[in-house]
Amino acid sequence: MKKFQDNQLMQARTRTDAPADNAIKMLFATLAPTQTYEWLQWFTTENTNIPSDYQNISHFFDNNCSLPIWADLEKMKKASLFFEKNKENILFTLGTYSLPYCYAAKNGVKVLFLSKRLQTDAKKRLEETANFLINITSKDIFSENILQNKNISKGVFLCLKTRLLHASIRHFVVNKTVWNATEWGEPINQEDMAGTNLSFSYIILQGLKKMNISFTDEEAENYLHLWNVIGHFLGVEEQFLPDTMKESFWLDKLISERQFAPSEEGKILTKALLAVFEETVSSFYNKTAIAQMRFLLGDKIADMVDVPKSTLFSGILAGVRTKNLFLK
């Protein structure tokens, strides 16, 4: 059983993702400003063409495309079926639990705030996140759809693109903003990456449980396993990839105790998220979404990120609301 300690996570705040950071550093050193914007666009689209003129990027994909030896494709396929069965509720839980949960991390949320991706066009960024979740959990995405005559599945490709996007955000934050690494840790560091991966795996499962959506221990561990593989390709160190719900509970508990606190950045991003609900769905669905958010987060964390108090009954019509917000 994996065990997690405070000093282990304290050290994790000083580490990021050297392979991706080095690839981005070499790339951006050769680009004109207009080309930098084009690359940032490439990271967030479904373009599967690796530009051949940039060997360091091509080498990054080649050097990081192998499945870890512990990956179990059968478990991953079963996890995909679990996602498909619970798709609407999982996507709704993403918007009303996972994302605002991340915003409660006082230091980690500063990167999201400084990058401005969730403030300038919150709806588009949330759609990108939902699309990534839908794509990366689809059946056989890690075993089929080989691209460009390379031994890279579409699932690996999507993860590595996202990993390079994270490295580009780190590059921007360090070089273009005032970043206090001593107080906040490195931008998108290993502790924050581990917490984010939990928000897409363990926190999703916790949300389903709170909504009385039943699943077996095997289904839970299959889903965690899939996200461990995804986390591996996103650059999370293996020591921070919990195998069981129990391990996930202790890692999440330790991270939240260390990092969760009120912050202006967290409140602003939550407000932007709530604005997407208000813009996208009807008044009734928006009110019930807010009630659901407070119910899933609990009053303590909901207060940290300024989720409005609600007297409405929560935990209802989740699937219907999901269709309105995330499903086309």
List per-residue pLDDT tens for the chain, 328 residues long.
899 999 999 999 999 999 999 999 999 888 887 788 788 778 877 777 777 677 888 899 989 999 999 999 999 999 999 999 999 999 999 999 999 999 999 999 999 888 776 556 778 888 889 999 999 999 989 987 555 556 789 899 999 999 999 999 999 899 888 899 999 999 999 999 999 999 999 999 999 999 999 999 999 999 999 999 999 999 999 999 999 999 999 999 999 999 999 999 999 999 999 988 887 765 555 678 888 899 999 999 999 999 998 766 544 444 444 444 555 4
* Cα–Cα distance for residue pair 41/57, rounded to 1 Å: 15
Coil vs helix vs strand at 262: coil
Contact 326, 128 (CB under 8 A): no
* Cα–Cα distance for residue pair 250/3, rounded to 1 Å: 8
Helix runs in the chain, H state only: 6-12, 18-28, 33-43, 55-63, 73-85, 87-93, 99-103, 109-115, 117-120, 122-136, 154-176, 181-184, 190-200, 202-210, 217-233, 245-259, 264-280, 283-297, 299-304, 318-325
